[in-house]
Amino acid sequence: MVDGSKAATSATVGRKGNASEPMPHLTPAERAARGKAARAEVPRSSHGAWTPAENRPDPIALLEQQATDRVPELLPIRYGRMVHSPFAFYRGAAHVMASDLAATPRSGLLVQACGDAHLSNFGVYGSPERNLVFDINDFDETLPGPWEWDVKRLVTSLEIAARGNGFSDKERRSIVLAAAAKYREAMQGFASMRNLDVWYAHLDMEKFVAQATSLVDPKRLKAVEANLAKARTRDSLHAYEKLTRIVDGEPRIVSQPPLIVPASELLPLDRDELSSSIRDMLRAYRRTLETDRRHLLENFRFVDIARKVVGVGSVGTRAWIVLMLGRDDQDPLFIQAKEANASVLESFLGKSEYSNHGQRVVAGQRLMQATSDIFLGWHQVKEGVDGRPHDYYLRQLRDWKGSAEVEAMVPQGMTIYGQMCAWTLARAHARSGDRIAIAAYLGTGDVFDKAIAEFAARYADLNEIDHKALVDAVESGRITAEVGV
């Protein structure tokens, strides 16, 4: 395996992701030579020849290990969601896959890895300029690491989702090959671009839809346009109308246990104490924002807070929604404070340079995304209800956020969507890693594409076995699952 830390360039994340460390500026030719040298030592075809290790850890034990830092009463919801299907299991099993990927070949070329780059962790949201952009939208596991791990997780998610949708072997292979090829071709394109052009590159959804008229069935294109229009309605005002009611003249978040529970029902504090505590937290969090956004946030006052269950893999972590009001009750702002634990990658790649995992998430998100939420920041609660400190990152709850309905995709739609995700992932990696070296490693042929397609099929087989193991664990009583929540 090539040691990427020994030949790092100024365009490459260091082993600990510290961009401030002095690094030599190599020429494009030297960087390309570095990628070709990595290819000679770690052949591209080697990424496909994968089998589970003989001493592979029990996947259920890994899930149980991960659960030790989570809210116990919420864990049955997590398992109930994961047991639904092999794809749902895969979404929640980032730690399991990281354990498996640790033994796979690595080129030694590092990037800021997402750590959980499956296709449901991409989607649309509103940019500060009020455009709909498409990007990665989950960074809980982000850490400097091998670019291959993200590619393998993304392409395998397409294989698993395609199986769940009943696609044929030929259709599935076409989908995963198209995604792998798009990543490779996109990286070739980014390798030839100037640094600033790479930094500004993004996928504008309005432009994409306009260009997709010749690629997508007109009926399905209308459905895409309808979903994008719906995303534009998903904002704080929409959440306010859906999640609150007026109590004694003030809006309050409606209790919908176990998914939404007001803090007043969970914490041993009266409302005045709770309000004072949250205001202190908001003041500390504001300091992690840019000064203009800090000023904007100061124009909102705290009103209410509740715990909200989110996602699949995230269920059990502490996630709160904070209701704030601006000029009047028609000017709401919902901030989500989501707990950040250690990345699942840290057990295999080393600890983050950041002592606060909320800051780790924010730093990774800002590096990988084309544009980030204006209220993206972090905070640490020194002493939670359990007496322990907890790290959080904060952002808007809803800001034109939308995601694709994977289960409703047809082969043509999943092919296009997979290519969108692959291009976006390549862009994120090109911003943080040595795009020229990675492009040289990948080359212009389809050797890597075929290897990744083979890996995806093999890992999808294993994922089905792991999903069945969770089903069996639930049936035996080892795991308690609450289905349908």
What pLDDT does 390 receive? Answer: 94
- pLDDT band for position 482 (cuts 50, 70, 90): very high
251 and 225 in a common domain? no
Residue 359 counted as domain residue: yes
- Asked if residues 130 and 25 have their Cβ atoms less than 8 Å apart, the reply is no
Q: Is the pLDDT confidence value at 303 over 80?
A: yes
| Domain containing residue 63 | 4-231+413-476
Residue 327 counted as domain residue: yes
For 436-458, write each residue's pLDDT tens digit.
Answer: 999 999 999 999 999 999 999 99
189 and 320 in a common domain? no
268 and 192 in a common domain? no
Q: Determine the Cα angle at 20 with ends 19 and 23, to 5°.
A: 80
Percent of the chain with pLDDT over 90: 77
Residue 439 counted as domain residue: yes
What pLDDT does 6 receive? Answer: 35
Cα 440 to Cα 40, 67, 115, 365: the distances in Å are 11, 40, 23, 26
Q: Which residue has the tokens 């959440």?
A: 239
User: How does the average pLDDT of the chain come out, rounded?
Assistant: 91
Judge if pTM exceeds 0.85.
yes
297 and 200 in a common domain? no
156 and 28 in a common domain? yes
Residue 483 counted as domain residue: no
For 51-83, write each residue's pLDDT tens digit.
Answer: 999 999 999 999 999 999 999 999 999 999 999
What pLDDT does 1 receive? Answer: 44
Q: Can you name the residues that pair with 339 across neighbouring β-strands?
A: 392
Among 367, 396, 425, residue at a domain's last position = 396
Q: Is the pLDDT confidence value at 32 over 50?
A: yes
Residue 286 counted as domain residue: yes
371 and 245 in a common domain? yes
- Asked if residues 373 and 396 have their Cβ atoms less than 8 Å apart, the reply is yes
392 and 424 in a common domain? no
Count of domains in the chain?
A: 2
Residue 141 counted as domain residue: yes
Q: Can you name the residues that pair with 378 across neighbouring β-strands?
A: 393
- Asked if residues 183 and 425 have their Cβ atoms less than 8 Å apart, the reply is yes
Among 363, 396, 429, residue at a domain's last position = 396
Residue 360 counted as domain residue: yes
92 and 10 in a common domain? yes
For 309-361, write each residue's pLDDT tens digit.
Answer: 998 989 999 999 999 999 999 999 999 999 999 999 999 999 999 999 999 99
Among 362, 396, 430, residue at a domain's last position = 396
Sign of CA dihedral 433, 353, 356, 79: positive
134 and 246 in a common domain? no
386 and 435 in a common domain? no
197 and 301 in a common domain? no
Residue 401 counted as domain residue: no
For 388-434, write each residue's pLDDT tens digit.
Answer: 899 999 999 987 888 888 998 999 989 999 999 999 999 999 999 99
Reference 159, options 411, 355, 333; nearest CA is 411
| Tokens matching residue 211 | 């260009």
152 and 259 in a common domain? no
Q: Which residue has the tokens 């091998």?
A: 146
Sign of CA dihedral 155, 159, 164, 170: positive
